[in-house]
Amino acid sequence: MDISEKIRLTKYQTPSTKYVSPIKHYCGVFGVLGHEKASELTYLGLFALQHRGEESAGIATSDGTRLYLHKHMGLVEDAFTPEILAKLPGKAAIGHVRYSTTGSSTLSNAQPYMVDYSRGSVAIAHNGNLTNAQLLRAELEAYGSIFGSTTDSEIFVHLMAKPSYKNSRESVLGAVQRAQGAYSMTLLTEKELIGIRDPHGFRPLCLGKLGSAYVIASETCALDLIEAQFVREIEPGEVVVIDESGPKSFYPFKDQKNRLAHCIFEHVYFARPDSKIFGENVGLVRERLGRILAKEHPAKADIVIPVPDSGNFAAMGYAKESGIPLAHGFTRNHYIGRTFINPMQEMRTFKVKIKLNPIQEIVSGQRVVVIDDSIVRGNTSQSRVRLLRKAGAKEVHMRISCPPHVSPCFYGIDFPSKKELIAANKSLDEIKKFLDVDSLGYLSHEGLLSAVSFPKENYCTACFTGTYPTKIFDEMDKFKLERKW
């Protein structure tokens, strides 16, 4: 199937056939160099990564001489038409889907972010958060930098513009050593595609190949869609520079001792189950989470039902381990967007009411075990329990495939402040009463880490423990760069 036919199918498929993503998102990045249809491939790659952000989408391309850019608020399929893609020429491109974790949801903050500077043009697409963004921006503005957005991603571009750097490659290597926190990035210049991963490896980033072209993506599911070969994960602390001669790797942190800190919540929730991240298939990890959850928190029940779609694999594991039949007790309205990622509480509440509907004939009179990936504020879970009670469920037992969230994230997830996290402010019994469930069980921290194959020291679990793997310089506020100094 050629690229044009794939694009046609993504534009006109029915909503029920689309992959429906989880609720809490941040960003996804994609890049390709050396392909005649770079913009079309990037469109498809972003379509596969749509679950990582729905606020805006953008593509920047290079024809070897200059850069071209189009970005748009909303979904990938709404942002691009064949006519728009035709105006993005060249054999190299990068793309971005965004959910704002720093800066408002505005077109000026949409990515890729593109600028012209003394060494030419550069476009950047960033997944993650810089934890020293406020300090860096204050320093840069003190020396005369003028910012056109309120994202931390633009700060990286300003770091690259230091006059003492001899070329774009040197400027990138210099900038990464000033930036701190989480960043998986693609950058595009007139001649190069660059992939960067922070030395802690918070966010996934992989390298692929399609014929003679090279591809960079947040997740392997994007490679699958365009039928690219997975080559390897880009290593934590690696800078991959790809030009017409192929990729070259640089390791600016090789003399430093930076602990690995892969975000465990990628496995629990964010990444697509068909992706391979941090060396493991996401769906299989989630099934193991469900099995461990069944051992830690058994229940006397008639059926196990997942909260679709993020609870599906954990529910499968729980059902297999417990021997309780798996049933689909909720149907999802695929026309409705996400709840957590909508910044207005009123819209979140409205969408919760209409997004999921219990199937009365399945749950009525039954003792139900509900498997979900997490409870953040608690309002969404409370609404789901009410729906099940109204549909006639005899008992409702809530099981969560991760530990309680007690701390905000500073590395690119829009978790609320500590005061909004229900587990940071209520005891287990108080949460159980708030949700109106017959029993409540969270996966333990030890159980969570036993579900992954690599040493527990390799993962960041700060949102569950409050222990952060890096120094935090900035306050937890997505609008921190929008206030006047």
**Three-class SS of 140-209:** HHHCCCCCCCCCHHHHHHHHHCCCCCCCHHHHHHHHHCCCCECCEEEEECCCCEEEEECCCCCCCCEEEE
Closest CA to 329 of 384, 271, 399: 384
Neighbouring C-alpha atoms within 13 Å toward the C-beta of 108? 8
Strands 206-210 and 367-372: unpaired
Q: Which residues of 365-391 are buried (b: 16+ CB within 10 A; e: fewer)?
A: ebbbbbbbbbbbbbbbbbbbbbbbbeb
Q: Which residue has the tokens 């001792």?
A: 257
**Backbone angles phi and psi of 279, in degrees to 5:** 85, 5
Q: Amino acid identity of 207?
A: L
The rounded distance, in Å, linking the Cα atoms of 427 and 437 is 14
Q: Is 432 exposed, middle or buried (0-12, 13-18, 19+ CB in 10 A)?
A: middle
- Residue 243 CB partners (closer than 8 Å, separation 6+): 33, 191, 192, 193
Task: Determine which one of 27, 206, 221, 460 is catalytic.
Answer: 27
The H or E element spanning position 320 is helix 312-322
The structure tokens listed for 328 are: 């689909």
In the annotation, is 206 catalytic? no
- Residue 53 CB partners (closer than 8 Å, separation 6+): 25, 26, 27, 28, 97, 98, 99, 341
Q: Which residues of 81-105 are buried (b: 16+ CB within 10 A; e: fewer)?
A: eeeebeebbbbbbbbbbbbbbbbbb
Closest CA to 186 of 240, 116, 121: 240
Phi-psi region of 162 (alpha: psi -120 to 50; beta: other; left: phi over 0): beta
The rounded distance, in Å, linking the Cα atoms of 255 and 258 is 9
Q: Is 222 in contact with 48 (CB distance < 8 Å)?
A: yes
The structure tokens listed for 424 are: 């940071």
Q: Which residue has the tokens 């909508």?
A: 342
Peptide bond into 308 cis (omega under 30): no
> What are the catalytic residues?
27
